[in-house]
């Protein structure tokens, strides 16, 4: 059912959307239900320890996600790009414009959430991979999306463009064994706030969504890693997590997707520079 009719015919890129049951897939699905034309992005191939199978969407899986979404909205294409390479990000934006004639929405969802471990064991390659994908990639995607949005007319009651970046509870609070990830997600909030000030006069809104833990495929790996690191069983770790959340459950992909769709809609046209918690009350600032 269409919840936001003003999204009908809009064009969106959703990065990191090549895995079934992932956050990107859920966000893309929700936008497709509201009539948004989509470019699904993912890396498309594994690249050793820095991009293992549990962390990236392979081209075959991304194609399958796209085919699933075409049952909702036929206007779905895919694009493989390494978020560490600005030229590939620029080409992704060009692909969206070549496919659909414009670009209205960017959802910065691609991220590395699997290079965990003690700070003293971190390598330069690990740090660079996390920061270059999670933060630098989001910055360059924003840069090239905005360049296109600036060429487009302002739509009455909606604006000229929407940028939504996926942060984390880790955008606001720290945790052990995740220093580079936490640094990158704090950076997303700073980037969001600065860009919102700069782009507000052009009627381009810039916001972040900050979910707590979501048990996607990658989330399941994270649960197992953290439980082992803390000397807990998986059941003990999950029970402790639920105990910290006032609503008593971990996040679901649809929770984040619903927040993204709202921020992309005309109902959010006066909201910019925000880092919206979607955490069941676990994070309140």
- pLDDT digit string, tens, across residues 271-280: 999 999 999 9
Measure the CA–CA gap between 177 and 155, rounded to whole angstroms.
45
User: What pairs with residue 214 in β-bridges?
Assistant: 251
Catalytic residue among 4, 100, 181, 237: 181
Is the alpha carbon torsion for 270, 274, 278, 279 positive or negative? negative
Measure the CA–CA gap between 43 and 33, rounded to whole angstroms.
25
The pair of three-digit structure tokens given for residue 239, joined into one six-digit string: 């029970």
- pLDDT digit string, tens, across residues 131-188: 999 999 999 999 999 999 999 999 999 999 999 999 999 999 999 999 999 999 999 9
Catalytic residue among 143, 185, 225, 228: 185
Q: For residue 212, what pLDDT is reported?
A: 93
| CA dihedral of 49, 50, 52, 58, whole degrees rounded to 10 | -140
Domain range list for the chain: 5-214+253-270
Instruction: Note the pTM of the prediction, 2 decimals.
Output: 0.94
Residue 37 annotated to the active site:
no
Q: What is the CATH number of domain 5-214+253-270?
A: 3.40.50.720
3-state secondary structure of 79: strand
How is 8-47 classified by DSSP, letter by letter?
TT-EEEETT--STTSHHHHHHHHHHHTT-EEEEEE-BS-B
Mean pLDDT of the chain, nearest integer:
95
Strand order in the sheet with 204-211: 76-80, 37-42, 11-14, 105-108, 161-166, 204-211, 275-278
Measure the CA–CA gap between 201 and 143, rounded to whole angstroms.
16
Q: Of 36, 49, 26, 108, whose CA–CA distance to 76 is shortest?
A: 36
- pLDDT digit string, tens, across residues 182-231: 999 999 999 999 999 999 999 999 999 999 988 787 788 898 989 999 99
Q: What is the mean pLDDT of residues 91-105?
A: 98
């Amino acid at each position: 059912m269409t919840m936001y009719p003003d999204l009908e015919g809009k064009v969106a890129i959703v990065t990191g959307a090549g895995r079934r049951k992932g956050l990107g897939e859920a966000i893309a699905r929700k936008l497709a239900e509201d009539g948004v034309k989509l470019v699904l992005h993912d890396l498309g191939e594994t690249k050793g320890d820095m991009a293992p199978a549990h962390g990236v969407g392979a081209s075959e899986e991304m194609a399958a996600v796209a085919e699933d979404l075409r049952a909702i909205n036929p206007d779905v294409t895919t694009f493989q790009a390494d978020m560490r390479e600005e030229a590939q990000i620029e080409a992704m934006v060009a692909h969206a414009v070549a496919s659909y004639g414009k670009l209205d929405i960017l959802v910065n969802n691609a991220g590395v959430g699997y290079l965990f471990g003690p700070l003293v064991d971190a390598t330069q390659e690990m740090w660079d991979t996390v920061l270059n994908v999670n933060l630098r990639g989001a910055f360059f995607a924003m840069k090239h999306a905005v360049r296109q949005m600036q060429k487009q007319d302002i739509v009455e009651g909606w604006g000229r463009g929407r940028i939504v970046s996926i942060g984390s509870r880790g955008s606001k609070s720290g945790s052990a064994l995740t220093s580079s990830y936490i640094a990158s997600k704090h950076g997303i909030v700073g980037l969001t706030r600065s860009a919102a000030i700069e782009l507000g006069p052009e009627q381009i809104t810039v916001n972040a969504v900050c979910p707590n833990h979501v048990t996607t495929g990658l989330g399941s790996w994270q649960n197992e890693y953290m439980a082992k690191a803390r000397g807990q069983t998986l059941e003990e770790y999950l029970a402790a997590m639920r105990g910290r959340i006032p609503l008593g459950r971990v996040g679901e992909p649809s929770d984040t997707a619903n927040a993204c769709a709202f921020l992309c809609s005309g109902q959010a046209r006066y909201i910019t520079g925000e880092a919206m918690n979607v955490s069941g009350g676990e994070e309140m600032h």
